[in-house]
Amino acid sequence: MSTILTFILPLIAAAGGLFAGKVFYSKVNKNIEGDAQRKAEDILKNAEISAENIKKDRMLEAKENFLRLKAEFEEETQNKKGILLENEQKLREKERILAQQSEQQRVAEQELQSAKQSVQAKEENFRKKLEDVEKKREEAEAMLANQISQLEKIAGLSADEARQQIMDALKAEAESKASSLVKQAIEEAKLTATKEAKKVVIETIQRTAAENAIENCVSVFNIESDDIKGKIIGREGRNIRALEAATGVEFIVDDTPEAIIISGFDPVRREIARLSLHRLVQDGRIHPARIEEVVNKTRKNIDDEIIEIGEKTVIDLGIHGLHPELIKMVGRMRFRSSYGQNLLQHSREVAKLCATMAAELGLNAKLAKRAGLLHDIGKVWHEEPELPHALLGMELAQKYKEHPEVCNAIGAHHDECEMTSMISPIIQVCDAISGSRPGARREMMESYMKRLRDLETLATSFDGVQKCYAIQAGRELRIMVDSENVSDEKASNLSFDISQKIEKEMQYPGQIKVTVIREMRAVNFAK
């Protein structure tokens, strides 16, 4: 029994220890699991909070980037929009100028066509009258021959006696008719001489008028060396941008040696820009603040000079009571040119011509001189014109209370409106006379070059002509012909034919010598 107990008791003790260990281990495991779960939950909470914070930071950063990019895009878009608007404005201005030029060309073509039709009608009328005269002459000759024959048969007179008798009869009849016609012409002339003379003069001078309009828009500023270009441009272009903003013109600094181009439609602005740049280069201090100061000072000096020029002009011409704004516009003409002709000089010439012609025709010379001086004021209006310069000048004259005849003459000198005054066609023709004076405008050189080109083109249109040269200022034409296709006899005939065609188709002063050169060359090679 004790042996059994000895054996059982350890088993029981082992079983109890095993059970107690299992219970303890189970408790320990539960505690560890609880701690681990709590730590896992804490880690998850911390991770969620951290993720939320990171998410908020990233969203804020993304919003900031979006706003920054949006601002940059809007700024870039605004800049491009400004550039597009500026380009669109320039394009509209060019289209307006082209349309104006096209309209002027169309009006000139219409006037030319009308004049051509009038000349053709007069030629046809003259031809008919000439045919009538020829028929009457033939009838008179036949009647004279018949009368001579009858006189010889009836009276038995000799031919000389009959001729003398007929001559006496015709002479008496002619003297009688001539006397009656002279008396009638004298009576009609007394009634209509002055009116008809003025009408003929006015109709004639109207057909001589022509309009040409071309504006210089570039001035060149010369510099001593290209090193100054860098100072004018400035750091990152600040100086040149300040110059353009202050003067309202564009400065073109390119590869042109020792020169800067000033571009702008307003000649006064170009002159202000040129003088300001000259003073800045001489001074050597070129920066935005100094640029603005010099430009303002130069603009004031130019304004004073414009007023002084206008006052001096009206005093020299003896024109009184002119509005100060009109005097200022007259002064602005000094800086404007057309076809190379100074606008102020042109207006002075027109004024003097108008006064002389009006005095000769018995019209108001003072009004004509006034209208002649002011006829182109529409070209110097400082704002962008929406009307032709003639109509704009008329509106300005009406605005400043000028005489109605002066206003009509200004508006009608390019046929922009109906002429209601006798001095209007005088202004028109004097404008054309001043512009067509030899050497007054560049178009004289252009017409000269065109005549030389037309001469050469006319000669090269003949078969066998190889080369052609107009020399001696267009007074001689040298023609090289192909010796194989043109014989000596044909060369002589060719010279005559070309000279005849020049006489029929071209207008030129003096005479043109046509020389045809035929050269025969025999070439061989010794090998």
235 occurs within a structural domain: yes
364: three-class secondary structure by DSSP: coil
Query: CA separation (Å) from 151 to 144, 162, 243, 392?
Result: 10, 7, 102, 78
Q: Which amino acid is at 491?
A: A
Residue 236 has what DSSP assignment?
G
Whether the CB-CB separation of 317 and 193 falls below 8 Å is answered with no
Q: Is residue 397 part of a domain?
A: yes
Residue 301 and residue 355 in one domain: no
The pLDDT of residue 405 is: 87
Q: Which of 386, 403, 436 is the last residue of a domain?
A: 436
Domain assignment present for residue 106? The answer is no
Q: What is the CATH number of the domain that holds 406?
A: 1.10.3210.10
| DSSP 8-state symbol, 377 | G
pLDDT in tens, 302-340: 888 888 888 888 888 888 888 888 888 888 888 777 666
Residue 144 in domain? no
Q: Is residue 290 part of a domain?
A: yes
Give the pLDDT confidence of 140-198 residue by residue, as tens digits: 888 877 776 776 677 665 666 666 777 777 776 666 566 566 556 656 665 665 565 55
pLDDT at 74 over 70: yes
User: Residue range 495-523: average pLDDT?
Assistant: 81
pLDDT in tens, 6-43: 667 667 777 777 777 777 777 777 778 778 888 888 88
Same domain, residue pair 342 and 425 = yes
Q: Given its phi and psi angles, is residue 427 left (phi above 0), alpha (psi -120 to 50 degrees) or beta?
A: alpha
- The Cα–Cα gap between 394 and 90 comes to 27
In this structure, what CATH number is given to the domain that contains residue 293?
3.30.1370.10
- Other C-beta atoms lying within 10 Å of the C-beta of residue 346: 24
Is the distance from CB of 514 to CB of 495 less than 8 angstroms? yes
Judgement on whether residues 429 and 342 belong to the same structural domain of the protein? yes
Mark whether 429 and 389 lie in a shared domain. Answer: yes
Same domain, 374 and 456: no
DSSP state of 384: P
Domain extent for 242 = 218-308
431 with 447, same domain?
no
Q: Is residue 68 part of a domain?
A: no
CATH number at 455 reads 3.30.70.1350
410 with 454, same domain: the answer is no
- Is residue 518 within 8 A of residue 488, CB to CB? The reply is yes
**393-424 pLDDT per residue, tens:** 888 888 888 888 888 888 888 777 888 888 88
Do 452 and 424 share a domain, yes or no?
no
Look-up: residue for tokens 């880690």? 43
Question: Which three-class secondary structure state does DSSP give residue 251?
Answer: strand
pTM for this model (two decimals): 0.43
Number of helices (H) and strands (E), helices first, in the chain? Answer: 14, 8
Q: Quick check: 211 pLDDT over 60?
A: no
**57 inside domain:** no
Last residue of a domain, one of 260, 293, 308: 308
In terms of domains, do 428 and 456 share one?
no
The number of folded domains in the chain is 3
Instruction: State the helix-helix crossing angle for 365-374 and 404-412, rounded to 10 degrees.
Output: 50
Q: Which amino acid is at 160?
A: D
Residue 65 has pLDDT above 60, yes or no: yes
Residue 487 reports pLDDT greater than 50: yes
The band of 202, judged by pLDDT with boundaries at 50, 70 and 90, is low
Residue reference for tokens 């002055």: 194
468 and 428 in a single domain? The answer is no
Same domain, 241 and 283: yes
- Count, residues in the chain: 527
- My answer on whether 410 and 497 are in the same domain is no
Q: Where is pLDDT greater, at 210 or 444? A: 444
Pairing status of strand 218-222 against strand 465-471: unpaired
Question: Closest Cα to residue 332, out of 370, 312, 303?
Answer: 303
What residue ranges in 86-226 does DSSP mark as E strands? 218-222
Which of 249-253, 404-408, 517-521 bottoms out in mean pLDDT, i.e. has the lowest? 249-253
What's the pLDDT score for residue 213?
A: 28
DSSP string, 441-502: STHHHHHHHHHHHHHHHHHHTSTTEEEEEEETTTTEEEEEE-TTT--HHHHHHHHHHHHHHH
